[in-house]
Structure 1
Amino acid sequence: MDRITETRLNRLIERCGQGSHTHLYYLGDKEWFWDSKREALIAYRSIGNRRIALGDPSGHPRSMRRAVQQFIETCKQDRCIPAFYQTKSDMLPVYRELGLRAAKIGEEAIIDLTGFHMNGKAWLKQRNRLSKFRKSGYSFEVLTPPYTCQLMDRLASISNEWLQQRKEKSFSVGAFHRDYVSRFPIAVMTGQGGRIEAFLTVAGACQEATETAQLNVDLMRYSADCPQGTMDYLILSLCLWGKEQGYGRCSLGMAPLANINDMLVARLLYKYGNRIYNFKGLYEFKNKFEPNWEDVYLVYPPAGFSVTAALVALAIHSPVSASQAARMAESARYQESSI
C-alpha cells in the first residue's frame, strides 16, 4: 500500500471510527471503491464474476447509500455481480431497495466494556483461570508500535508454530504479515522468563478511548508450550485493560451459523464453509465471554445465494498472488490520483 493511499485510509478511519472490518483493509488483498465524493470506501475482492465487498461501506453516514448504489452501477457496467459479506442490519433497507437480497449467516460477538465485570457465580471459572495464570508467573501487557526486529521475529516464530504448515486465510480474517501486524497494538502473554508465549493483535486500540470506540481482536496465536486456557486469559485481560482505558466495545468477530433459523441457508453455509470454521466450537468459545450478539448478513443478487456463498469461501481460502496484489495496489493508486 503506497503512502498516499494509506494516508487517505487513515484519515477515513480517524474521521468515521474503527469498524469491525476496517483493519482488514490493510491486508493488501482487496480492491477499493470510493464513492464520487470520496466520503465512503468499499473494500472488495473479485472472484469469478462476483465483486464481494467485506462488510458495509466505511465512511460518513450520509454517503452510505450513494456508495452502495454507485458500486452496484459500476459492477453492472463492468458486467460483474455485486455482493456484500458480513453486513449489519442497519444497512439492509438500502441493499433491498437497490434490488439485492439478504440472508442471516451468523452473529458477531460484541463485548460491552463499559459494563464488563467478572463478578458472580457465572464468572467463577474465569476468575480462577486468571488467578491461576498470574500465580504461575504469566503476565499481560499491551505493546504499541513501532516494534523491534527481535520482537517481530518472536511473534513470527509463534505464528509459524501455531499454523503448523497450514496456509493463512485472507479477506475476512487477518494473516501474519510483518507489515500488517506491525501497524497495530499487540496484547502479549509473557512467561516466567520474560519470553512472549502468546499474542493478540488489537485493531482500534490506537484510536481515542471513548465509549463509542471499538477494539477488534484480530490474530490470535500461541506457542505449543502454552497451558490450556491461554486465549481466555488474553481476552479477559484485554477486556479488563480496555475498560480501564475507557474503550466502549470489544469485537471478538463473527460466529458463522449462530442462531440461524433458515435451514437452507445453514446447510449451504455448512457445505461451503465447513473448512473455514469449527462452527459450534467457535460460537461456544466466544459465548463464554457473555457478549452481545449482533446479526450478520450476506447480501447477494436474487437467486444467487449458493454461488455467492461458495465464492466467499474461495476468497477466504485463496491468498492473493503477487501479480494480483500489484494490480490491486495500482487500482487504489489510480483512484487516489483522481482525488
Structure 2
Amino acid sequence: MKAVLSVAPGGPETLLISDIAPPEPKPGEVRITVKAAAMNYPDLLIIEDKYQFRPERPFAPGAELSGVVDKVGLGVKDYLPGDRVMALPLWGALVQQICIEASMCRRLPDAVSFEKAAALQMAYGTAYYGLTERGGMKAGDRVLVLGAAGGVGLAAVELANAFGATVTAGVSTAEKGEAAKARGAKNYVICPRGAIDREKQRAVSEDLRQALEGGQSDIVVDTVGGDLAGPALRTLAWLGRFLVIGFPSGIPSIPANLPLLKSCDIRGVFWGAAVKRDVEAHQRAMDTLLDMYATGRIDPKIHAAYPMEDAVRAFAEMKDGKPIGKVVVTI
C-alpha cells in the first residue's frame, strides 16, 4: 500500500511516498481504509522533530482521518467491516490503511463527508476542549482568538459564537479577518507578524482593547504565541483565562506580575493527550461536534483538498501560513 513517510527530520521536502506492507489489527484495534486525512500545524513540527511526540522513523504524519473499517481485531464489538468512521491516531494518517485502537474511533453518519469528518476532530476538538473544559466559557463571555483564520482559530471563533460568546479575531490580514467574521467574529484586529518591540506591543494591546467590548476579554485563545501573547494577556479581565494552544511564532515569555495583577489563569490545552487520558470525554466531545454539524451550527472550512500524491504540496502550503481553514489530503 502507499504511504507518505517522514524518513529524516526536516521540512515538507523530506517526505516520500513509498510502498509499505498493509498492517494487521491487534486485539482491540480496527483496520481502516483511509479516505481523507486532515493536516494540522503539529504535523509540520512532528516531521521536524520539534513536537512532543517523536515517532520512530520511518513514520507517516497525520493526526486525524476518516474512512471505512476494513477488518477488526480480536475483542472489538463496536465496529464491523464496512462501517464509516473517523479516528484520531495522532500520527500515521497519511496511509492507505491504518490500524488504530477502536476507542480512538467514532462512527460517522452517512450525511457527513469524509473530508469534513477528517477536518472536524483535531481543530474543533481542540477548540471545544479549550473553550469548555479548560476555559469554562459561558454565554456572554468576551473571547479573543489569536490566529483566528487557522484551523483551530477558525473553529474557536465558530464554536464560541455558537455558544453565545462575543468574539474578536486577531489575524494577520484583512482577508483572514473577513473569513473570521463570516464564521461569527464580531470584529477583527490585524496584528503584526514576527518579533515586535515593547512600544509596538503596547500599541497592539491598545488596538485589541479598542476592539473588545468594554476594553477587556474574559478568555484569550492563543494559537500564535510569540510577541502577541503579552499584549493579548494584558486585555484579560479579572479572573480571565489565557488558553495556550500553540506557538508557531515562538514560545512566549510572560512576566509573572501580569497574571498576579489580574488574578487570571494561564492554562494549557493539549487535546492530543486529553483524548488518550479521558476516552469518554473524547467521545462526548465528538458526539457534541457531530450534532452541531448536523444542525448547521458549525461547518469546517476546507481551504483545499489535495490527492495523496500531492501531500508534499499540502505540507508546503501549510508551512507558508496561507491556508484559511483546513488542508485535507484525500487518499
Q: Give the TM-score category using the shorter length.
A: under 0.3
Higher helix share: 1
TM-score, with structure 2 as normaliser: 0.24
Indicate the structure whose relative CO is greater, using CA pairs within 8 Å and at least 6 residues apart.
Answer: 1
TM-score, with structure 1 as normaliser: 0.24
